[in-house]
Structure 1
């Protein structure tokens, strides 16, 4: 196994919880490891720091894989098994969850979502691309999955400079459509062509909190995806729901999911871009569900929150979801406050919500907490 030596400052950050360091933190390397070949990290004095993947073409050139006393042999199956054991303990229904979450499961660049007996995989590093056969074998052995589908067709891979591939089976015959059961609701999701890797499991804690907000409310959901948020609002007593999604097929699927959960007669779902919808509305609502995946910068996020405030009645409730990046780590509340100031509204925070237990992150390294949610009363 090759050794890679890091600066003292990089070694300190790794010990403090950082999952990666940059190219400039590498002091020296022995040999040239191939993609998917783990190296041993050492500090400048030769002390072992643990196992890692090294990719000099990536901005995050060193990604930590294992602890100082960990063996490289059998590392991928061992970490996969540990990830599934964690979900069995921590998730209400581990048949429907994120089964592996990147650095939070010591498998940097690997995402696996579970849909009962079907798994959807996304790889976000060249090292994990090279390990796909080993990953697939480990997943089948640990979970007994009937199929494994690769979804390396997303914008995130393009942003990382990785090649994009058409969705295809790594094992078995993955279905295009699958069922998700969550918090008493049921959803049909498109595994092959839907956004991301099918269903936003990362919003589960926000959906759970809707039980406290929705009773008797008129609800607006301007970026509804497959309906995960508004369905739970409807199940907990919302009297009327207006929802939109920029993709017409996704809007149709969201409408079907709403009707399958008993919202017929209370729900209207239409195709429409969230910003255009918010700009065009002149009505106000009791509860606005403002997911912001389209916000490409802090400025567009602030604009979207401002528009969300405009359609929230005095004393109404606004649920805001933001993502890092493009939002700066630690700047979410400040951006929401800026939008409130620009609109002349006062926001009273009820709750700050984040990722659920099936999205573990590293203590001491907030960069892995990519989602922030806040519930405010807008007065």
Structure 2
């Protein structure tokens, strides 16, 4: 029989509403002696069943919820059902399962599997566990992924800091099958991108920006483009392929730029140059030299991992946008991306309003965008809607 986690009085409503995170402050007591990673029942203060989840005393999220049916255990059949539902969205609805494509198979809370991300790159899968309970069930999950997707190999990627937050020790490694080749590449919107599954950032490539890259590329024909925090090429390569007159791509990581150069060669692009530099410093130098661009793309990494870091993160975004407005020519296009989930779209818009007013430049938001459709947002956990992308005209 499962151990029970009893909620404090008047704290059950979010969980009846299917929010998956039960923090320690909402819990009155634990009945039984669940080990970290064990299955537990979440029960209201009045004794009513709420949901079934996985327990972890070492995490701020003491229970992650997965099922709201009292008689359904979190066994292989359950995970098969959940993962197959995620696969159905990508294959049957979004039609992303092309032989050489790349797409997100499973997106954690968005697919009601809190703490697990699965990406597909051609014949290989990458898996990332950010929850101890799912990490301890990885053999079941790998078996299900093999049955549903028939990959050649499955590689585990880890996120910095998760060991401390979740109390689970994981290392990047091959979980099953053949190791991914060094020259693994995917096809995306008619272009070819090399993906480093063993050393690249996150799970190897930023799949979430797929549609945003295409949207921005349409505005870059014949334009001078600056791509800040370019990683393996992304926006800059799309712009160059669309017919930009020149593209400057900047990133602090030389390995990322080496991959970007290889991607440029793979797509026969010569109208793009790369600068290995601190982005803030380099943008300041470009301002000092009088450089101007018609399109500036800002796609920085996450600046805040907790609420205490948000004020400093906003300072970073503000500084970037102040520099970008100085670099933009008349009627230029500004692309503002923010993957810091704790900063809302309204926060980003307010920052743009303040910076444009300070610079005495009128700014029109012409598109509000989010991640590609294989990164859905669960309405019961809107924290899963992390990525913001604003495309603006700066007069």
TM superposition score category, shorter chain reference:
over 0.9
1:227 equivalent in structure 2: 233
2:109 equivalent in structure 1: 103
User: What is the aligned length?
Assistant: 377
1:285 equivalent in structure 2: 293
Where do 5+ consecutive residues of structure 2 fail to align?
305-312
Shift of 1:236: 1.9
Deviates more, 1:116-125 or 1:50-59: 50-59
Corresponding residue SS for 1:87? helix
Shift of 1:343: 2.6
TM value normalised by structure 2 = 0.89
2:132 equivalent in structure 1: 126
Contact 2:302 2:340 in 1 (8 A): no
Contact 1:51 1:70 in 2 (8 A): no
Shift of 1:200: 0.4
Note closer, same or farther for the CA distance 1:39–1:11 as it changes in structure 2 (3 Å cut).
same
Of the three residues 263, 266, 270, the one matched with 1:257 is: 263
Contact 1:176 1:192 in 2 (8 A): no
Contact 1:362 1:368 in 2 (8 A): yes
1:30-88 Cα offsets, whole Å, 9 max, x none, are 21323332222222222222211222221122211112256113222221121111111
Of the three residues 184, 199, 203, the one matched with 1:193 is: 199
1:97-129 Cα offsets, whole Å, 9 max, x none, are 011111111111101111121001111011122
2:309 equivalent in structure 1: none
TM value normalised by structure 1 = 0.93
Q: Structure 2 CA distance, aligned partners of 1:304 and 1:295?
A: 12
Q: Structure 1 CA distance, aligned partners of 2:17 and 2:302?
A: 33
1:2 equivalent in structure 2: 3
Aligned alpha-carbon RMSD (Å): 2.0
Residue pairs, 1:273-312, within 5 angstroms:
273-281=278-286, 282-293=290-301, 295-296=303-304, 297-312=313-328
Of the three residues 65, 74, 78, the one matched with 2:81 is: 78
Where do 5+ consecutive residues of structure 1 fail to align?
none
Residue pairs, 1:158-177, within 5 angstroms:
160=165, 162=167, 165-177=170-182
Contact 2:52 2:70 in 1 (8 A): no
Corresponding residue SS for 1:10? coil
Q: Structure 1 CA distance, aligned partners of 2:93 and 2:285?
A: 42
Residue pairs, 1:338-357, within 5 angstroms:
338-357=354-373
Note closer, same or farther for the CA distance 1:332–1:124 as it changes in structure 2 (3 Å cut).
same
Q: Structure 2 CA distance, aligned partners of 1:323 and 1:306?
A: 19
| Residue 223 of structure 2 corresponds to residue 217 of structure 1 | yes
Residue pairs, 1:49-88, within 5 angstroms:
49-68=50-69, 71-72=72-73, 73=75, 74-88=77-91
Q: Structure 2 CA distance, aligned partners of 1:364 and 1:340?
A: 35
Contact 2:341 2:387 in 1 (8 A): no
Q: Structure 1 CA distance, aligned partners of 2:242 and 2:8?
A: 54
Q: Structure 2 CA distance, aligned partners of 1:206 and 1:82?
A: 25
1:221-249 Cα offsets, whole Å, 9 max, x none, are 12111112112222222121111221112
1:189-221 Cα offsets, whole Å, 9 max, x none, are 111011111010111221121243111111101
Corresponding residue SS for 2:331? strand
Q: Structure 1 CA distance, aligned partners of 2:213 and 2:146?
A: 30
| Residue 16 of structure 2 corresponds to residue 15 of structure 1 | yes
Contact 1:305 1:339 in 2 (8 A): yes
Of the three residues 332, 336, 348, the one matched with 2:352 is: 336
Deviates more, 1:171-180 or 1:343-352: 171-180
Note closer, same or farther for the CA distance 1:92–1:345 as it changes in structure 2 (3 Å cut).
farther
